[in-house]
Every structure is written in C-alpha cells, then in structure tokens.
Amino acid sequence: MSTNGTGGPPWLAFNSDGSIHLSGVPERIIRHPGLKKRGITLADALKPGVIFRSVTESVVVKVLDLNREELQIYERLIPDLAVPENHIVPCEIDRLDHPLLIMPTLRNMFINVHTNHTPHSTLLHMFHDLVEGIEYLHRHNIAHMDICYDNAMIAMPQDVAIHPELTPGRVYLIDFDSARQFKLRPGVQPAITLPETQADAPDGLTYFDPYSWDVYCLGKLFEYITDFWCEDYNQVPWIIRRYIQWLIGEERGCHEVCRCRPTAKTARRVLAAICAIWSTLDTLHTVFSTISSLLTAP
C-alpha cells in the first residue's frame, strides 16, 4: 500500500507489514495523470517518497514541495534554457495534478574525473560550468544554498543520444530544495540563517551571506574534486590550488555582506582568464616539474 494524502512529499510506499518500502513507488504517483499522459512508468525510488526513476532509467521524476521555493525558481529558469549560462537540467513541470519535475537521468560529474588521468583542461571546463551556472543564478537573485558533489551532474554522449536537448560534457546543477530567492543582489544581501545543507559551515557558523555561501561551497567542492583527481595535492598546479583557496576564503563570520571571498561574477571572470591561457600555463608547469625532478635526482 502507499500514502494517499493530499499534501506534498514524501509520498511513501509501504510494505504489507506497514514498514516503509524505501525503494517503492506509491500508488499516488503511479496514478498521477501527467505521468499516464506521458507514458512514464516508474520503477523505484532514488530518494524515498520524493525522487523516482522510470523503468527505462532515462527519466527522473521529482515530487515538488510547495512549501519551498523550488517550483517558483524552476518556473523562472525553464523559459531561459537556451541561455548558455543557464546550467539547470533541461526539464519540464507537469501540473495536471500535484506539480512534478520531469528531467533526464544524468550521471554525477565524478564519472568524468579519473585519478591522475583527467586532463587539467577537462577539470577547468567542469569548474567553469559550475561557476558560470552559479553566477547566472546570482544574476537573478537566486542562491542555490546546497552546492555539493551530489548536485552537480554531467551529460555523457550516451545521455545525449536519448535526450538531444542535452549538451555532451556539460555540467548541470540539480536539487533546488534549499534554494532561495532574494530581493537584494550580491554585494548588498546580508547574512541569513543557513538551512540544512550537505556542506559544513566554517567555524560552526549558523548564518552566512547566501551568495557568498554558494561561492564557499563551490570552493569546497572543487577542493574535494581535486583531492579525488590527484592523490598528491601538491601535484595540482599552483594556480588551481590558489584559485580554490581564494573561493573558500578566510571566513570572518560576517553578519552583513560578506567580503571574505569573491563574488561568483568575479570568480567566473578569473577562471575564464585561467582557461584562456591554460595551454601556456600547462606547458610551463610541465617544464618546471621536469626541471625540479632533474634537480632533485641523485
């Protein structure tokens, strides 16, 4: 059996003994007229009661929580899917009953990061997609508030074969559960109370400039990616290490507008410059590494 309430998620499925069936698909979403009209049959739950996967594994369906701002944010961003800086996943909202978000199934961006093998240029391209996507949100006074590895996906060639609206190698942002819209733009918006997020705040802070929080979380995500990508962090080119630390910043616990790290706009411009001259920098890095190894050889 399953839940049959009238509110938002979680829509849980239950076993015959009354226990929660964590991967189950509840009757309410099976009967959803929007899914029936589209011919979408769900196989299991990726997040119990909230996110479900189709039997073909090509589509993901999310039950939107109307007590949060996710629906309104997607309604603002979906009309601008053709804008290159917009890095939300091409998706649709079905309103025939309770609003559902329907989107292609994508892989975590870590599928494209291989220890000691992924080229620097590929890593920088993924970083740039993420910074560009956050800058675009901030330009519209939207803060994601939960930037982490679980919420950064990438389109692989096999995904594009099924969903031609995707761009191969492009990084997309998902999960706007915690996202917020503000009247004030970056550089003016003061700190707010942090929601529950996957990233830990520095020094145990419970408040943060929301736009600066996104940039901080980007820095921590990039640090996590480079740790995964390179077993020896010292082998990461100095300019990438310096850039990551610049994003993380030196937190001073600002109650008003945060000046501890750059804005997403500045971060994107600097990263674009690094990408533009990367071939030269990569050559110099190789030369200096070779010289260093020769000088330290017995």
Over the stretch 262-287, which tens digit does the pLDDT of each residue have?
Answer: 999 999 999 999 998 887 776 776 77
Closest CA to 222 of 205, 237, 204, 207: 237
- What confidence score (pLDDT) does residue 115 get? 58
pLDDT-derived band at 5, boundaries 50, 70, 90: very low
Class of domain 107-284: mainly alpha
pLDDT tens sequence across 34-89: 999 999 999 999 999 999 999 999 999 999 999 999 999 999 999 999 999 999 99
Look up residue 291 and give its amino acid: I
pLDDT-derived band at 223, boundaries 50, 70, 90: very high
pLDDT tens sequence across 189-213: 999 999 988 899 998 999 999 999 9
All structural domains of the chain with their residue ranges: 27-104, 107-284
- Taking the C-alpha atoms of residue 25 and residue 215, their distance in angstroms, rounded to an integer, is 36
Distances (CA, A) of 274 to 217, 237, 253, 268: 20, 12, 29, 10
Mean pLDDT, all residues of the chain:
91
The pTM of this model reads: 0.90
- Taking the C-alpha atoms of residue 41 and residue 166, their distance in angstroms, rounded to an integer, is 22
- What confidence score (pLDDT) does residue 237 get? 84
pLDDT-derived band at 8, boundaries 50, 70, 90: confident
- What confidence score (pLDDT) does residue 1 get? 36
CB distance 271 to 219 below 8 Å: no
pLDDT tens sequence across 79-92: 999 999 999 999 99
| pLDDT over 70 at 19, yes or no | yes
- What confidence score (pLDDT) does residue 236 get? 82
Strands (E), the chain: 42-47, 51-54, 59-63, 92-94, 100-104, 107-108, 142-143, 152-154, 171-173, 180-181, 192-193, 207-208
- What confidence score (pLDDT) does residue 261 get? 97
Closest CA to 155 of 92, 201, 214, 91: 91
pLDDT tens sequence across 161-188: 999 999 999 999 999 999 999 999 999 9
- What confidence score (pLDDT) does residue 287 get? 75
- Taking the C-alpha atoms of residue 153 and residue 207, their distance in angstroms, rounded to an integer, is 28
